Amino acid sequence: MVLGISGFAAGAQPTSVSAQNDYPTAARAEYVFACMNSNGSTPDALNRCSCAIDTIATAVPYKTYEQAETILRMRHQAGGYLAQEFRIAVSNAILDELEEAQAEADVTCF
């Protein structure tokens, strides 16, 4: 899958059912559209990409997902000293958590 993000950081706690459902519909849809764009716009891709975001939502709270998406966008868009702010250890830990969830989604859904 092209959206290079993965799962659980060491010591991560299981996510409650209510936390699994804290992803706004628009965020889920955006993920599925981007995933389908990368993996073919077929019914199979729709099912697999929907599975992937559900798997990610189970592993990572939406707040962390949103932070990781912001970090990734800033790293790609901002240059110089502004981008450096998004390369610190805290940012890397957030991305690691999301990357582990993505890897789990890849194994589970693809």
Domain boundaries, the chain: 23-109
Tokens describing residue 3: 């959206």
Q: What is the pLDDT of residues 43-94, one digit of tens each?
A: 999 999 999 999 999 999 999 999 999 988 887 776 666 666 666 878 889 9
Question: How many CB atoms are located within 10 Å of the residue 30 CB?
Answer: 13
Among residues 95, 93, 49, 50, which one has the least CA distance to residue 69? 95
Is the pLDDT confidence value at 2 over 60? no
| DSSP tag of 7 | -
Q: Is the pTM of this model over 0.85?
A: no
Q: What is the pLDDT of residues 12-32, one digit of tens each?
A: 444 455 555 799 999 999 999
Q: Report yes or no: 46 and 36 within 8 Å, Cβ to Cβ.
A: yes
